[in-house]
Copies of this chain bind each other. A is one copy, B any other.
Amino acid sequence: MIERYALPPVRDLWTEQAQYERWLEVECAVTAAHEELGVAPAGTADAVRRTAVVDVEDIHAIEATVDHDVIAFIKSATRDMGDDARFFHLGMTSSDVVDTALGIALKRSGRLLLDQLAELKGVLADQAKRFRTTVTVGRTHGVHAEPTSFGLKFLSWLAETERNEERLAAATDGVACGKISGAVGNYANIDPRVEEIALRNLGLRRAKCSTQIVPRDQHAAFMAALALVGAQIERMATEVRLLQRTEVHEAQEPFKVGQRGSSAMPHKKNPIVCERLCGMARLLRGYMTAAFEDVALWQERDISHSSVERVILPDGVMTTYYMLDRVIWLMRRLVVDAEAMQATFAASHGLVYSQRVMLALVRGGMSREDAYTLVQRLALAAWEGDADFHQLCLAEPHITTLMSPAELDALFDPQYYLRNIGPVYARFGLDNAKEEQS
User: B145 touching A68 by the CB < 8 A rule?
Assistant: no
Instruction: Give chain B residues whose Cβ lies under 8 Å from the Cβ of A207.
Output: 159
Check A146–B75 contact: CB distance below 8 A: no
In the assembled complex, which residues on chain B have CB atoms less than 8 Å from the CB atom of A148? 184-186, 188, 300
Q: How far is the CB of A165 from chain B (nearest CB, A)?
A: 12
Per CB-CB distance, the 4 closest pairs between chain A and chain B, nearest first, are A138-B184, A267-B379, A286-B286, A141-B270
Cβ of A112 within 8 Å of any chain B Cβ, yes or no, is: no
Interface residues of A in 226-264 (CB under 8 A from B): 227-228, 231-232, 234-235, 238-239, 241-242, 244-248, 256, 258-264
Contact across chains for B359 and A189 when beta carbons are under 8 A apart: yes
Q: Is A129 an interface residue (CB 8 A)?
A: no
Residue interface mask A113-137, B partner, CB < 8 A = 1: 0000000000000000000000001
Residue contact B435 to A192, C-beta cutoff 8 Å: yes
Contact with B along A85-119 (1 / 0, CB 8 A): 11001111110000000000000000000000000
A270 to B218, CA, bound (A): 25
- Interchain nearest-CB distance for A246 vs B (Å): 4
The residue in chain B whose Cβ has the minimal distance to the Cβ of A190 is: B420
Residues on B with C-beta less than 8 A from A294 are 279, 282
**Bound Cα distance A312, B190 (Å):** 43
- A265 within 8 Å of B by Cβ? yes
Q: How far is the CB of A177 from chain B (nearest CB, A)?
A: 11
Are B75's CB and A369's CB within 8 A?
Answer: yes
CB pair B311 A145 closer than 8 Å: no
A258-B65, A303-B272 known; A420-B289 Cβ under 8 A: no
User: Which residues on the B side are within 8 Å of A91 (C-beta)?
Assistant: 359
Establish whether residues B67 and A139, one from each chain, have CB atoms under 8 Å apart when the complex forms: no
Segment of A28-36, A40-48, A421-429 engaged in the interface with chain B: A421-429
A76 at interface (Cβ–Cβ under 8 A)?
no
Cβ of A58: which chain B residues have Cβ within 8 Å of it? none
Chain B residues within an 8 Å CB radius of A182? 146, 264
